[in-house]
Amino acid sequence: MKIAIVRERFEGENRVAATPETVGKLIGLGATVAVERGAGSGSRITDAEYEAAGATLAADAPTALSGADVVLTVRRPAASMLAGVNPGALVIGALDPYGNEADIAALAQAGVTAVSMEFMPRITRAQVMDILSSQANLAGYQGVIEAAAVFDRALPMMMTAAGTVRPAKAFVMGAGVAGLQAIATAKRLGAVVSATDVRPAAKEQVESLGAKFIAVEDEEFRQAETAGGYAKQMSAEYQAKQAELTAQHIAKQDIVITTALIPGRAAPRLISREMVESMAPGSVIVDLAAERGGNVELTQPGRVVEHNGVTIIGYTNVQGRIPTTASQLYARNLLAFVETLIDKTEKRLAINWDDELVKATVLTRDGAVVHPNFASAVPAAGGPVTEVKPAPAPSSAAVEAKDAAVKIGASGATTARKGKAAAKVAVPAMADPPKKAQPGVEQSLPGAVEPAPSPRKRAAIKKAERVIDTAADAAAKSGARKPPVRKIATEAVSDASATTKRTRKPAAPKGTE
């Protein structure tokens, strides 16, 4: 039973699908593990560490993959790369099949069994294998860190001898795993946090973290959750009401983090150009849905842009910006699943094709696309083998994360450091005045006094804590060593020639508020 781990080919991907810890455990299960040299370098894992864990180092990918029964991967590999694996070999990773049906068909044609970890059912047994949760949790955390890094002001309220400075206001749109972690992180940094979601269950989770919940709570909202706990596609009418409600709120925010997703669909558009223009210069939006088209009209996936002084961060792999932690958790998710595929006494692969985890995640088998969601992706005989689409190339200059933003607007794309004038924002009042609800629309703007939590609310609090703590607990148990300080390659900007290094200017004295 040979398991192969190769260096990720997707540009800008620094994560790796196995760590020395998981390699050691895979070997304990009876596998031999081949690791391509350099596979862990993006996550600060050396070849020597893999070797010490018992892996065999391979000089290149074909050597690592030759005769493999299992390939562990972060991104979907090109079918052409898998030529040397054993027939029917399992290729397990975040295969991102929606919109990439031709690539899935090519994997079927290559004779491998492609397993898409994103489709892992959200049942108790599979929580430890949930890559969406582990990675979204980190994205939610890192999204706030990215925002704080480019925000020109402090997040917490500052009470000093020179006076008091008001805390920053942060609004989180979409309170799933990433959103709840973003709320918790922004709260820890001292911001005043509010959040919205279309799922009714999110309301109590948001409030349990000390944030305000803001949503149109009509009948459609009350029904807006699938049995799997995901959001449903909302009607155009609901989206219009939601946009009206959030528009006035957004105008008063300093930081907005958007995380709204609907499985298998383009990200819902939540923030229009006008809404961006309503924000004060110096505000920051982080669009964590950028990879799926973005929640913000002005998001440019993979880029940081500036519009009227508002910075819009559209990184498409935010979890990949903390690759060491992301790899640790991702590798454990994969290990937990692989364990279920191995007969521990006989020390060989023994896949139960009727297991609900296997049925839900297997995309291709015996040369055919077998997953019901991709029934139309039939491999054409002798059809093309498509390559993985690369992410936008990072800027050649490896610079610190705080780079110049690309300014967008009527005048076209020009690079501009946020002007000093822009940093002097007109500070809006701290509290959002209650708005009048539309007729027939209930509205939630929690008051200052919180009643004692009901049993239902206590259950919701527990659930919220469980969701955001799962990945944190896993990280703590791993005894992760802290990665050394290092430079981070920036995302591409639309005009690479105009890229300039953004350096922190000495802080201009801010007016006390």
Catalytic residue among 98, 230, 273, 355: 230
Question: What is the spatial distance between Cα 19 and Cα 53, in angstroms, rounded to a whole number?
Answer: 9
97: Cα separation from own chain's centroid? 16
DSSP symbol at 238:
H
- In whole angstroms, the minimum distance from the beta carbon of 408 to ligand NAD comes to 24
Helix (H, G, I), strand (E, B) or coil at 41: helix
Q: Among positive and negative, which fits the CA dihedral 222, 226, 231, 235?
A: negative
Q: Segment 207-226, which members bind ligand NAD (CB under 6 A)?
A: none
- In whole angstroms, the minimum distance from the beta carbon of 335 to ligand NAD comes to 17
Catalytic residue among 7, 9, 127, 273: 127
Determine which residue in the list 8, 36, 130, 491 makes contact with ligand NAD, applying CB under 6 A: 130
Is residue 73 a contact partner of residue 8, using CB atoms and an 8 Å limit?
Answer: yes
* Alpha-carbon separation of residue 263 from 92, 98, 279, 289, 373 (angstroms): 20, 9, 29, 12, 12
Determine which residue in the list 40, 174, 282, 379 makes contact with ligand NAD, applying CB under 6 A: 174
Four-point Cα dihedral 119, 124, 129, 135, nearest 10: 80
Active site residue 504: no
177 binds ligand NAD (CB under 6 A): yes
Tell me which residue has its CB nearest to ligand NAD: 176
Catalytic residue among 41, 60, 80, 122: 122
Question: What is the spatial distance between Cα 123 and Cα 136, in angstroms, rounded to a whole number?
Answer: 17
- Pick the stretch among 263-271, 299-307, 363-371, 452-460 that binds ligand NAD (CB under 6 A): 263-271
| 480 Cβ contact partners less than 8 Å away, ≥ 6 residues apart | 324, 325, 328
In the complex with ligand NAD, the residue whose CB is nearer, 181 or 308, is 181
The enclosing H or E element of 35 equals strand 32-36
In the complex with ligand NAD, the residue whose CB is nearer, 228 or 451, is 228
Active site residue 130: yes
The enclosing H or E element of 115 equals strand 113-116
Catalytic residue among 43, 109, 116, 133: 133
Helix (H, G, I), strand (E, B) or coil at 299: coil
Q: Are strands 342-343 and 348-349 parallel, antiparallel or unpaired?
A: antiparallel
In the complex with ligand NAD, the residue whose CB is nearer, 122 or 505, is 122
- In whole angstroms, the minimum distance from the beta carbon of 468 to ligand NAD comes to 9
Active site residue 133: yes
Active site residue 60: no
| Binding flags for ligand NAD, 445-484, as an x/- string (CB under 6 A) | ----------------------x-----------------
286 binds ligand NAD (CB under 6 A): no
Active site residue 122: yes
Chain positions contacting ligand NAD, by CB under 6 A: 122, 127, 130, 132-133, 136, 173-179, 196-199, 201-202, 229-231, 234, 259-263, 268, 270, 467
Tell me the catalytic residues: 122, 127, 130, 133, 230
